[in-house]
C-alpha cells in the first residue's frame, strides 16, 4: 500500500513538472499577450505570368515616421492640416490595387529615422499595405533608415523576417573560410542580394531564371579626407555583383538551346539601390524622359559602378531614389538610370508637385508555341492626383533582331 502511495506521489510530481514547463513556455513565448507567429511566405519562385509579363512597382523614399503624428511636407496649405503618413499608406494601397504588381521594390529611405523612436514599429506601418496584399516584395536601405533605434544590420535583418518579404541581409557565404558575419559573405553594407524571376508556366524556361533582380546597399554618410559625403557602393559589392552575374549567366545557358534561330542576349537583369552614382549628373546635358527637378546628390567618390555594370552586360536598367524631385530616366553607356520620384508625404517635395511611383514591366518574347526569354522592358509613372495619371511611358530596352 505504501509503495502505491509513493507511485501516486511520483505521478503527481511528474504532472506538476509538465504543467510547470507548459506554463513557462506559454508565459515566455508571448509578445503583448499574442503568441509568436511564423513569417508568411509568398508563392515561390517569382515567375512571369501566363501572358508573358512581370510587373514591378518601385516605391522610392516613403520617409515614413510615426503615422498620424508625422505631418506632410511641401503640400498645399489647404491640405496640410489633415495630411500625414496615412496619406503615404493610402497611396501605396491605391497603387497596389490599381497596377496589381507581381513584385514591389522599395528603394530606400523607407522610414525617416529622426521622426520615429521605434524603427520596428515604423517599418511595420510603412510596409503594412504590401504585407496585407500578400504580394512578394523586397527593400534596400537609404541614408535615413538607420537614424532611429536600429542599426543598418538590424534593419535589414528585421525587414527580411517580415511577411512576404524576399529581402536578405546579405548573400550567403559559399566559402566557410570567407565568413565575416556568421553565414553571410564578407561584403560591405547590408542588403546586397539578388532574386531570380523564372519563365512563364508551361514553357521550357519555367524552371530557368530569365530576369535577375540585383539589390545593392549604397550606404548612408561617410567622411572622405575630412569632408562629409554620401555613401557609395564599395569594391567588395562590385566583386560580388560580377561573380553573381557570371554565375547566373552560366546557369541560364538553357536559353541558348531553346531560342535557336532567334537572337540571343545575355539574361536580362535590373538593379535597385538608393543613392545615384556620380555619372547621373551628366544626364542634365543629355536627352532624358521625365523631370530633372533638383541637383543629383551623390557621393564624391566614384567607385566604378557604371564601368562594372557595362562590363557584365546583363543589367539593362537601374532604379534609384534619394532625390525626391527627380523622376527622370536617362541612358548612360547603354544602361538606363531611372529615378522613382518622391513617394512619401513626410519626405520633402515641391508644393504643387504630386507624389509619384514608378512601374516597370518586363515582357517575354513570343515563340511559335511558347514564351521565350525577355524581349522588352518598359516603364511609366503614376501620380497621386485625382486621376492617378499615367505619364512618361517609354521602352527602356528591347532585344534587337540584329543581335
What is the domain partition of the chain in residue ranges? 46-398
- Select from 63, 62, 65, 55 the least CA-distant residue to 104: 55
Which residue's C-alpha cell is 534619394? 322
| pLDDT band at residue 263 under the 50/70/90 scheme | very low
The yes-or-no verdict on residue 180 having pLDDT over 70 is: no
Query: Comparing 68 with 303, which gets the higher pLDDT?
Result: 303
Higher-scoring residue by pLDDT: 170, 30:
170
DSSP bridge pairs for 293: none
pLDDT for the residue 113: 92
The span from the CA of 279 to the CA of 382, in Å, is 26
CA distance 281 to 296: 6
Residue 167, number of CB atoms within 10 A of its CB: 23
Query: What would you report as the CA-atom Rg of the chain, rounded to the nearest whole angstrom?
Result: 24
Model pLDDT for residues 274-286, shown as the tens digit of each residue: 999 999 999 999 9
Decide if pLDDT at 176 tops 50. no
329 pLDDT above the threshold of 60: yes
Over residues 47-102, the pLDDT tens digits come to: 999 999 999 999 999 999 999 899 999 999 888 788 999 999 999 999 999 999 99
Label the pairing between strands 371-383 and 356-366. Answer: antiparallel
Give the residue carrying C-alpha cell 542580394.
193
CB-based contact 234:156 (threshold 8 Å): no
**Structure-model confidence comparison of residues 181 and 10, the more confident one:** 10
Handedness of CA 20, 22, 26, 29 (dihedral sign): positive
Query: In terms of DSSP H, where are the helices of 143-290?
Result: 152-160, 235-251, 254-258
202, 370 Cβ separation under 8 angstroms: yes
pLDDT on residue 400: 80
Compute the mean pLDDT over every residue in the chain, rounded to the nearest whole number: 89
Give Cβ neighbours of residue 86 (< 8 Å, ≥ 6 apart). 67, 68
pLDDT digits (tens, 9 = 90+) for 235-262: 999 999 999 999 988 877 655 555 554 4
The confidence score (pLDDT) of residue 255 equals: 53
> So what's the pLDDT on residue 186?
86
pLDDT of residue 14: 64
* Pair 213, 360: CB distance under 8 Å: no
> Distance from first CA to last CA of the chain, Å, rounded?
95
**Helical axes 305-312 vs 235-251, angle rounded to 10°:** 10
CATH architecture of 46-398: 4-Layer Sandwich (3.60)
pLDDT tops 70 at residue 7: no
- Over range 373-388, report the average pLDDT: 96
Q: Report d(CA 208, CA 385) in Å as an integer.
A: 40
339-359 core/surface letters (b: 16 or more CB in 10 A; e: else): bbbbbbbbbebeeebbbbbbb
Instruction: State mean pLDDT over 171-194.
Output: 74
Half-sphere exposure of 230 (CA within 13 A, CB side): 20
B/e letters for 370-398, b = 16+ CB within 10 Å, e = fewer, are: bbbbbbbbbbbbbbbeeeeeeebeeebbe
As a whole number, mean pLDDT of residues 223-236 equals: 96
Which of 365, 87, 354 has its CA nearest to residue 211? 365
Please give the pLDDT value at position 403.
45
Give the Cα separation of 385 and 362 in Å (integer).
Answer: 26
Per-residue confidence (pLDDT) for residue 183, from 0 to 100: 62
Rounded CA-CA distance 390/98 in Å is: 11
β-strands 329-332, 335-339: how paired?
A: antiparallel
State the DSSP string of 205-218. Answer: TTTSEEEEEEE---
Q: What is the pLDDT of residue 309?
A: 98
Any idea which residue has 564599395 for its cell? 234
Angstrom distance (rounded) from CA 101 to CA 55: 5
Amino acid at each position: 500500500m505504501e509503495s502505491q502511495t509513493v507511485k501516486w506521489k511520483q505521478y503527481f510530481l511528474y504532472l506538476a513538472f509538465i504543467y510547470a514547463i507548459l506554463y513557462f513556455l506559454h508565459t515566455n513565448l508571448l509578445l503583448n499577450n499574442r503568441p509568436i507567429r511564423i513569417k508568411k511566405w509568398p508563392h515561390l519562385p517569382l515567375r512571369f505570368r501566363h501572358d508573358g509579363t512581370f510587373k514591378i512597382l518601385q516605391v522610392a523614399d516613403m520617409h515614413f515616421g510615426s503615422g498620424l503624428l508625422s505631418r506632410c511636407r511641401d503640400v498645399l496649405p489647404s491640405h496640410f492640416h489633415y495630411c500625414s503618413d496615412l496619406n503615404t499608406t493610402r497611396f501605396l494601397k491605391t497603387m497596389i490595387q490599381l497596377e496589381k504588381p507581381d513584385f514591389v521594390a522599395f528603394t530606400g529611405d523607407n522610414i525617416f529615422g529622426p521622426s520615429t523612436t521605434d524603427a520596428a514599429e515604423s517599418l511595420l506601418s510603412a510596409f503594412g499595405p504590401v504585407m496585407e496584399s500578400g504580394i512578394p516584395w523586397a527593400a534596400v536601405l537609404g541614408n535615413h533608415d538607420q537614424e532611429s533605434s536600429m542599426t543598418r544590420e538590424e534593419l535589414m535583418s528585421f525587414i527580411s523576417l517580415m511577411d512576404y518579404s524576399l529581402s536578405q541581409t546579405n548573400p550567403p557565404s559559399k566559402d566557410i573560410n570567407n565568413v565575416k558575419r556568421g553565414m553571410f559573405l564578407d561584403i560591405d553594407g547590408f542588403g546586397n542580394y539578388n532574386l531570380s524571376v523564372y519563365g512563364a508556366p508551361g514553357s521550357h524556361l519555367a524552371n530557368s531564371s530569365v530576369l535577375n533582380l540585383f539589390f545593392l546597399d549604397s550606404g548612408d554618410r561617410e567622411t572622405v579626407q575630412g569632408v562629409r559625403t554620401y555613401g557609395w557602393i564599395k569594391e567588395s559589392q562590385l566583386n560580388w555583383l560580377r561573380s553573381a552575374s557570371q554565375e547566373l549567366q552560366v546557369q541560364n545557358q538553357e536559353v541558348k538551346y531553346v531560342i535557336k534561330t532567334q537572337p540571343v542576349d545575355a539574361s536580362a537583369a535590373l538593379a535597385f539601390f538608393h543613392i545615384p552614382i556620380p555619372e547621373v549628373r551628366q544626364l542634365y546635358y543629355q536627352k532624358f524622359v521625365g523631370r530633372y527637378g533638383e541637383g543629383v546628390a551623390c557621393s564624391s567618390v566614384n567607385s566604378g559602378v557604371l564601368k562594372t555594370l557595362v562590363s557584365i552586360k546583363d543589367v539593362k536598367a537601374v532604379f534609384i531614389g534619394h532625390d525626391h524631385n527627380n523622376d527622370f530616366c536617362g541612358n548612360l553607356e547603354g544602361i538606363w538610370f531611372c529615378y522613382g520620384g518622391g513617394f512619401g508625404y513626410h519626405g520633402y517635395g515641391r508644393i504643387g508637385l504630386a507624389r509619384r511611383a514608378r512601374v516597370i514591366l518586363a515582357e517575354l518574347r513570343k515563340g511559335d508555341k511558347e514564351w521565350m526569354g525577355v524581349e522588352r522592358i518598359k516603364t511609366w509613372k503614376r501620380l497621386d492626383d485625382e486621376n492617378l495619371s499615367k505619364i512618361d511611358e517609354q521602352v527602356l530596352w528591347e532585344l534587337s533582331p540584329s543581335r
